[in-house]
Structure 1
């Protein structure tokens, strides 16, 4: 079982798999952040009718099983589904949609939880100093940036390590929708344990590298 030989022999295919994994998970995390950051900020700062119910729904969706998320997206975009005419099934685009469905509640819930405490005081203080509502929101986000970055990284980790949803909607098609996690499952099922372990190590190394880069940038930003 030569792990390194497996990487060398299939380096071109592995590079394609790694590239697609980063593109799909990175894009899904970006969209989830664009949705979840403002939603989480509003939920964390504002008191409104139905807030507790919304929080319960968000926290429930944070634990949404990936296979169920994949099934929902599959049914919506299948030929008999309401959006089947878009023909997105078994494409990287549909994989991004499925991962966005999984990651958005995570970022929303974690951002809301990180802002709900002392950041509310900062929001009120900013308003009392003459800031408008948008400026006050940005002030809160800046003060809570460490927790927010941690929330986004948690979301990226969920997307990058997810297998059920992308396997269901993407189909694990070679050179088209095959990512690291689906490749690991396939190689293990076929008894190619060396390749499965090699891909698993690559997954861990990339996750560690991304986390390290983000934390280093966050530390630099905190000093400025």
Structure 2
């Protein structure tokens, strides 16, 4: 128990002292995971909504692929992205390996199926007769879809939270494509793993507490947005 208190005190001390490296690692974590989440929302949300609003042959196969992707091991994603962006890989000419952008791409690939799957579930969980009622009242197809999206906004924002939670805590793919380079690609998760490997458990706990505080701050903002305008029962 003493180690946990030491880690918490160390985390507060690092933040209060204005340690440049800690703030750089924290800001890079927010940038990488935040950007990856935005990209995953831009990809996953339309896909999830499209699957919810459309019926077509092979829909169940598409859903099974998305559901499979929701549990895809991050190290597999990291390996695939590494092979693509390695110097002699098909996309090696872009020079993205061991850069924050490689980490963003890997994390976006991890989060996109999560956002897509939960977005589909949020819309599919609504009363199936609701859309037909809206259309019968004179709403156009686009208006009906927009009203359904508003009705399912709690679930859709929960999908965004799940996507962010999936990437901000990710370490395997980030290590593989980022390399944990000091001042360039080191984020809170990879820094924690490094300190554990060196036996510095107090500093590792400090990084862990900072990561938890960062994640909770973002989730608080998303929760406020989610509950804004929601009527109490």
TM-score of the pair, normalised by structure 1: 0.94
Distance 1:5 1:56, change over 3 A: closer
Stretches of structure 2 lacking an aligned partner (at least 5 in a row): none
In structure 2, C-alpha distance between the alignment counterparts of 1:123 and 1:38, rounded to whole Å: 18
In structure 2, C-alpha distance between the alignment counterparts of 1:128 and 1:81, rounded to whole Å: 54
* 1:104 aligned residue (93, 99, 112): 112
The residue correspondences of 1:70-89 to structure 2 (distance < 5 A) are 70-89=78-97
Aligned to 2:74: 66
Shift of 1:5: 4.2
Note if contact 1:92-1:177 (Cα within 8 Å) is conserved in structure 2: yes
Moved more, 2-11 or 26-35: 2-11
* 2:221 aligned residue (191, 207, 213): 213
Note if contact 2:135-2:141 (Cα within 8 Å) is conserved in structure 1: yes
Q: Matched residue pairs, number?
A: 224
The answer as to 2:101 corresponding to 1:93 is yes
* 2:52 aligned residue (26, 44, 66): 44
Shift of 1:55: 0.6
List per-residue Cα deviations over 1:105-161 (Å, max 9, x = no partner): 000001111211325433333333333333222211110000111111001000000
The answer as to 2:200 corresponding to 1:187 is no
Runs of 4+ displaced beyond 4 Å: none
Shift of 1:11: 1.9
Shift of 1:47: 1.3
Shift of 1:185: 0.2
Shift of 1:211: 1.5
In structure 1, C-alpha distance between the alignment counterparts of 2:83 and 2:43, rounded to whole Å: 23
In structure 1, C-alpha distance between the alignment counterparts of 2:10 and 2:154, rounded to whole Å: 40
List per-residue Cα deviations over 1:163-192 (Å, max 9, x = no partner): 000110000011110001000000000011
Shift of 1:205: 1.5
Aligned to 1:140: 148
Aligned to 1:121: 129
Shift of 1:10: 7.5
TM-score of the pair, normalised by structure 2: 0.90
Note if contact 1:123-1:137 (Cα within 8 Å) is conserved in structure 2: yes
Stretches of structure 1 lacking an aligned partner (at least 5 in a row): none
Q: Please tell me the root mean square deviation across aligned C-alpha atoms, in Å.
A: 1.8
List per-residue Cα deviations over 1:6-64 (Å, max 9, x = no partner): 64377211111110001111111111111111110111222111000011111111101
In structure 2, C-alpha distance between the alignment counterparts of 1:159 and 1:90, rounded to whole Å: 17
